[in-house]
Chains A and B, each alone.
Chain A
Amino acid sequence: MKTRRTFLRQTGAALTGAMLLPALPGCAPGSPLAHIKGQLWGPDAATGHLLRDPSRIPAPSRTVETEVLIVGGGVAGLAARRWLHRHGQPNTLLVELASHTGGNSAAGHNATSAYPWGAHYLPVPDVRNRELLDFLQEIGTLTGYAPSGLPIYSDYHLCHDPEERLNISGHWQEGLVPAVGLSTTDQQQFARFFKLIEDLKAARGRDGREAFCIPLDHASADNEYRQLDQISFADYLVRENFTALALRWYLDYACRDDYGATATQVSAWAGLHYFASRKGRAHNATGADVLTWPQGNNFLVEHLRKQATAPLQTGTLAYDLRETATGIEALLYDVATRQSTRVRARQVLLATPQHIAHRLLATVPGHALLPPGALHHAPWLIANLTVEGLPQGPGRPLSWDNVRYGSASLGYINATQQALQQEDGRSKVITLYWPLTEEASGPARRRAYQTTYAEWLPRVVAELETYHPGVTKHIQQADLWVWGHGMVAPTPGLLWGPARAAAHQPLRNRIFFAHTDYSGISIFEEGFYQGIRAAREILATASSIS
């Protein structure tokens, strides 16, 4: 069992590693990390920041027209584009700042394997999420329905066993719920918590709707549950006497995993939602199972993209937006050609984070967007490490998700988990997830942007060494990716305060909004839902006009 002292010692070690950075330029010849190749990747923050000072961008040299301009090619934007394509509005133009669409569901690949640069799994969905199930069926993830009516998922897309393991004091146990060295009190608290979750899964409010569900907009408005959004998850746990250290670690881990924020930072409603909303059912899997791919959710967003043929421009920044008599006019800057284009559209869908939408609508009145800084987005570091051999400790073998109790990062997933080939001792790719939650998101983000590859690498390697002592010499390549705005955190009051719902109200049937920022929870299902919601709003105006 981990004690507070060992935790402090390990944290101390990590800090020492961080302080050594200036003296240890990672890739210098002769350093113990000199053999590791790699580089630092990340979204094009510099181009994105042009938005702050658009006067540096050249004036438009041509004009194009479209019915619906979609700004932002993340899950919400792609889902909206697909939905519009299928429901009578194929005349759209999607622009995306990054060189790839898919937002957080980015992916890369090397000679060993494809690997995710962000979102990497989808829990077995709720069977009532019709739109999502249909999409999964179209792309072969859902292969059919059993006579019971339950969906059957492809064996190749359901996460292969062994799924999860947790390293406690050097020993790997199965599953992420700590099971080794628990006192009776600890065990009772775990049992009480999971009983609470089972009750909450079944709970319905006085309005007859479920207390927790995905998408969360369908959840009950009953104040009995919504008032849980007013306090932090950490305070709630103290109030309900969930004090066991192991339980608190586990729940904090869950919050960091799904929200990039700690139990102190997210609301109790959100903390419980993580567990109580997992109601997926399937003929050949349970709600606890997940769907995953070597390239992570890039598999899903690539299919979303391919399911519509409307034009799509990456590497393109939308930097100005104004209303005209017939619709809207937007200015786009092509990062590659360094030229600007004017777009005339009847409608625009802003499928961007709220702070981007806020800047774009600087001169547009009437919106209720939250100002930049109002939403908490923790920065994330993702490391894809190509390792030749991974020295294993005692206990369970390499699994899909590998976490160390008390670790600063969230642990790593094995990108080669779904591979069907026989293990041959050749290299594999593991993906380390690290939300930078130690300090407030603003300073953390600035620091993350300023940190160089040579400074990150020793930290990443030191972290992996706590998982597998001696692993350094097995690391062949370490590519790193920093997300400045990783994902929105459902801080207290965000989900069920009035501001969230108000923010995505369409403006004069011309400007629409879709992004997980409007859900307050950044998961594929919510992005997919937000995109379809906005697309339906757009289609509704079209039918009302005609």
Chain B
Amino acid sequence: MGESGLLVAPPALQEEPAHPAPQPPGLLLVAVAVIATCGLIYELIAGTLASYLLGDSVTQFSTIIGAYLFAMGIGSWLSKFLDGQLLRWFIRLEILVGVVGGCMAPVLFLSFEYVASFRLLLYTLVGLTGVLVGLEIPLLMRILEHRFPFKDLVARVFTFDYIGALLASLIFPLVLVPQLGLIRTSLLFGALNLAVAGVVLARFPETRPYRRRFTTGIVVALGGLGVLFVFANELLAHTETLAFQDQVIYSKSTPYQRIVLTRNPRELRLFLNGNLQFSSADEYRYHEALVHPLLQALPQARRVLVLGGGDGLAVRELLKYSRLTSIRLVDLDPGMTQLFQHNELLLGLNKKSLLSPKVQVLNADAYQWVREDTARYDAIIVDFPDPGNYSIGKLYSAAFYTALAKRLAPGGRMVVQSTSPYLARQSFWCVAHTLAAVGLHTIPYHLYVPSFGEWGFVLAGPDTHWRGDAGPLPAGLRYITPATIHDMLRFPPDMSEVPTEVNQLNNQALVRYFEEDWGPYVH
């Protein structure tokens, strides 16, 4: 860029030490403080975003800061190759920093869904910003070198630099993140860089030859950042950040549901249509309880069917049984299974379970699929969303369980996630009674999952042979032991069995119970 600009005016004209205007050098020192603040803010934004989006804040902050500082070093080194109209280079640089740094947070937020390249994009942006910021101070020092004695120059520039750094480190956590959020903070500081460019452009007479062209560029860039700033809320609303307590790091609407992932320093949470599906902090309790009471009692089990459970967390538990030869997972939504097959953060959580060669992932509507399937399974794990509407209610009906029971191999058994026996007591027992109504022997049990509360499951099979201490459990479980299984079978009086109707397609009793049970909690 700017090859022709370099030729427009001889160097001697713009670097005129003989008539230093008293104001501009002071102005440039203020600019030092501003650009230093901006530079540190970008670094903080990158670090915060990386730990929001990727977790493990110590590692993320440490590597981001390292990469950023290293990139600044590269920038400083590159500064020696900039010659000629230094002020002009500086203005260019400020415009670039303003655009790249300002857009960093929005770009990273919006691109997180394309997770495969996210780290690359993150470090590219961090590197680019670092290089540009690294160019700033050396360039400024060279612009000012003839206006101050060297010792004054160094003292003043670094004083303002560190003042800016202090300012940034204080206002970032105390004012900016709480008041503006990351996206607007990023945009605001991009605008400050542009403002520095604008002020320098206006106040230094030697910029006159290219003033108009640069002014246009600055105005356009400012306008772009301004529009993003104004619509940042819409951008955020799009990612539903406002509806969730924690930072939304992923959100996507599929034809079936809205998938939202949030994270805070402690945990990652998955929401489907606003309903919490798991928290990474305690999902092991849920998934161990879902899988192991069933599997430990089936020493001959080879083939397993999982309905729902597109997060692969139940499959992760299943893969702890090396005797299993085939696990077939049927989940309605390719949006879910693809997310949990490709997102590195989530692959860490499900231990890449859905990529195991033993696992076959099918995206199909479970009801029709089960009616058409001809295979038999030793274990069936049913992990559907709660029966909150009439469409899902059909997947908890006696007719569905009849079709499902036909898929059990001799001696096979199933387990059904059955909502909360404490918060939705009628619903829980309705599921148990519906399974019993199709001729299955049922074993209801429950446990405490901190992020959910009391949660319940129903084991069901053709006979009464199930035992909680039947076989060895896999090593390394954090919740399930034979003693825990024994405890889970006991229902205290406030969760004990209540009479209910059987859930049928033509009465949808369960959806009605569920509305009654949850009614007090949602209104």
Contacts and interface: CB of A to CB of B under 8 A. Distances in A.
Contact of A423 (B367, B391, B398): B391
Chain A at the B interface: mostly helix, strand, loop or mixed? Answer: loop
B507 A161 contact: yes
Nearest to A424: B255
A160 B255 contact: no
B504 interface: yes
A311 interface: no
A473 B506 CA distance: 32
A414 to B, nearest CB: 11
A286 to B, nearest CB: 10
A425 B390 CA distance: 14
B504 A426 contact: no
Contacts of A425: 255-256
A426 B398 contact: no
A427 B256 CA distance: 13
Interface residues of B, number: 24
A470 interface: no
Interface in A379-428: 397, 420-426
Given A289-B506, A421-B368, A422-B365, A155 B390 contact: no
Contact of A162 (B332, B367, B504, B508): B508
Contacts of A430: none
Nearest to B502: A284
Interface in A144-201: 155-156, 158-163
A285 interface: yes
Contacts of B332: 422
A237 B233 CA distance: 61
A283 to B, nearest CB: 11
A162 B367 CA distance: 18
Interface in B403-425: none
Interface string A75-95: 000000000000000000000
Given A155-B398, A156-B399, A397 B505 contact: no
Contacts of B442: none
Interface in B372-389: 389
Contact of A155 (B368, B392, B393, B504): B504
B397 interface: yes
* Tier of interface size on chain A: 10 to 19
A156 B398 CA distance: 11
A158 B504 CA distance: 10
Contacts of B394: 160, 420
B392 A156 contact: no
A421 B397 CA distance: 13
Contacts of A423: 389, 391
B503 to A, nearest CB: 10
B365 A155 contact: no
A69 to B, nearest CB: 42
Q: Pick from A158, A161, A421, A422 the residue with the most CB of B within 10 Å.
A: A422
B255 A161 contact: no
A422 B256 contact: yes
B506 A161 contact: yes
A160 B503 CA distance: 11
Nearest to A162: B390
B506 A158 contact: yes
Interface string B202-227: 00000000000000000000000000
A174 to B, nearest CB: 10
Given A155-B397, A155-B399, A397-B390, A161 B505 contact: yes
Q: Pick from B390, B393, B398, B506 the residue with the most CB of A within 10 Å.
A: B506
B392 A422 contact: yes
A159 B390 CA distance: 13
Given A425-B255, A426-B255, A160 B391 contact: no
Nearest to A291: B506
Contact of B367 (A158, A285, A421): A421
A159 B394 CA distance: 12
Contacts of A424: 255-256
A397 B389 contact: yes
B507 A420 contact: no
Contacts of A162: 390, 508
Contacts of A156: 399, 505
Contacts of B398: 155
Contacts of B368: 420-421
Contacts of A397: 389-390
A160 B505 contact: yes
Nearest to A161: B508
Nearest to A425: B255
Contacts of B392: 422
Nearest to B399: A155
Contacts of B367: 420-422
Interface in A344-368: none
Given A420-B368, A426-B255, A155 B391 contact: no
Interface string A429-454: 00000000000000000000000000
A314 to B, nearest CB: 32
Nearest to B254: A424
B506 A420 contact: no
Q: Pick from A155, A161, A162, A425 the residue with the most CB of B within 10 Å.
A: A161
Contacts of A426: 255
Nearest to A154: B399
A285 B506 contact: yes
A421 B372 CA distance: 13
A397 B393 CA distance: 13
B505 A155 contact: yes
B468 to A, nearest CB: 33
Interface string A309-321: 0000000000000
A114 to B, nearest CB: 15
Nearest to B364: A421
Interface string B334-371: 00000000000000000000000000000001011001
Contacts of B507: 161
A392 to B, nearest CB: 12
Contacts of B389: 397, 423
Contacts of A155: 397-399, 402, 504-506
A327 B511 CA distance: 62
A422 B257 CA distance: 11
A466 B302 CA distance: 57
Q: Pick from B367, B390, B395 the residue with the most CB of A within 10 Å.
A: B390
Nearest to B368: A420
Interface string A271-312: 000000000000011000100000000000000000000000
Nearest to B370: A420
A397 B367 CA distance: 21
Nearest to A417: B390
Interface string B492-512: 000000000000111110010
Contacts of A160: 390, 394, 505-506, 508
Contacts of B256: 422, 424-425
B469 to A, nearest CB: 37
A397 B365 CA distance: 22
B170 to A, nearest CB: 48
A284 B501 CA distance: 12
Nearest to B395: A422
Contacts of A421: 365, 367-368, 391
B277 to A, nearest CB: 16
Nearest to B507: A161
17 contacts: A156-B505, A158-B504, A160-B505, A161-B504, A161-B506, A161-B511, A163-B506, A284-B504, A285-B506, A289-B506, A397-B390, A420-B367, A420-B371, A422-B256, A422-B332, A422-B367, A424-B255
Given A161-B508, A423-B389, 16 more contacts: A155-B397, A155-B505, A160-B506, A160-B508, A161-B504, A161-B511, A162-B508, A163-B506, A285-B506, A289-B506, A420-B371, A421-B365, A421-B367, A421-B368, A422-B256, A425-B255
Q: Which 8 A-B pairs have the closest CB atoms?
A: A155-B399, A161-B508, A420-B367, A423-B391, A158-B506, A424-B255, A421-B365, A160-B505
Interface of A: 155-156, 158-163, 284-285, 289, 397, 420-426
